[in-house]
Amino acid sequence: MADFTVKDIQKLRQDGGVGMMDAKKALTDADGDFEQAYELLRERGQAKMAKRADREANEGVVGSYLHFQNDRPVVGVLAELACETDFVAKSDEFRRAADDIAMHVSWANPKWVTRDDVDPDEADKERELIARQAAAEGKPESVIERIVDGKIKSWYADNVLYDQVFVNAERFDGAVGDMVAALAAKMGENISVRRVARVAVGD
């Protein structure tokens, strides 16, 4: 029998944004290994997300954030967080998540929301640049492709909202996309960031 406690279940439930039974099953399947159980939840959560992705998400809220400097607002962000029902849209947790995402955008300033939004030409140019740099450094042809794959992930993490690590680790320790997925799993709805707008003094 797997060795884990009620506290382990509660922590996994909170970290994974899932129900108690889902957390218990993941820990059982992982033989009590917390990290493996969390990965199982992520895999299963993504599967559930794929099933929900076809459902319409026509409700939601617009989160907002103002960053002040010397008592004056210098950065403002609006972030539209979409969901399926007004019941979820009206919840405090959902509204707080929208505001948290707006706060994150004020600091991280992503160019795109998801990888699907990335300009393919720009991504191709970045790949070519990385490959040329690796070749100029004398890297063997056999490893250049792996170098490109590794560095392009870092480029996505710099420029794509869902790939960026959320700025407040006390609130959520992981990427923004994982945070949205955890919220969707917890609420049982198709939830996504539809768009963001950032305005900064001097831009």
Ranked by mean pLDDT, the top range of 5-19, 84-98, 172-186 is: 84-98
Evaluate if residue 21 carries a pLDDT over 70.
yes
**What string of DSSP letters covers 30-67?**
TTT-HHHHHHHHHHHHHHHHHHHTTS---EEEEEEEEE
pLDDT digits (tens, 9 = 90+) for 23-74: 888 888 888 888 888 888 777 765 555 555 556 677 999 999 999 999 899 9
Q: Report the predicted TM-score, pTM, of the whole model to 2 decimal places.
A: 0.70
β-bridge mates for residue 82, sequence order: 60, 192
- Fold (CATH) for 59-114+160-200: Tetrahydropterin Synthase; Chain A (3.30.479)
pLDDT band for 193, please (50, 70, 90 cuts).
very high
Of the candidates 141, 142, 180, 190, the residue with the CA atom closest to the CA atom of residue 63: 180
Please tell me the predicted confidence (pLDDT) of residue 89. 94
Label residues 49-83 b or e (16+ Cβ within 10 Å = b).
beebeeeebebbbbbebeeeeeeeeebbbbbbbbb
CATH architecture of 6-52: Orthogonal Bundle (1.10)
Do residues 139 and 147 lie in contact, with contact meaning Cβ atoms separated by under 8 Å? yes
β-bridge mates for residue 79, sequence order: 63, 196
CATH number attached to the domain at 119-159: 1.10.286
**What string of DSSP letters covers 5-39?**
-HHHHHHHHHHHT--HHHHHHHHHHTTT-HHHHHH
> How do the domains of the chain map onto residue ranges?
6-52, 59-114+160-200, 119-159
Please tell me the predicted confidence (pLDDT) of residue 117. 93
Please tell me the predicted confidence (pLDDT) of residue 2. 64
Which has the higher per-residue pLDDT, 105 or 35? 105
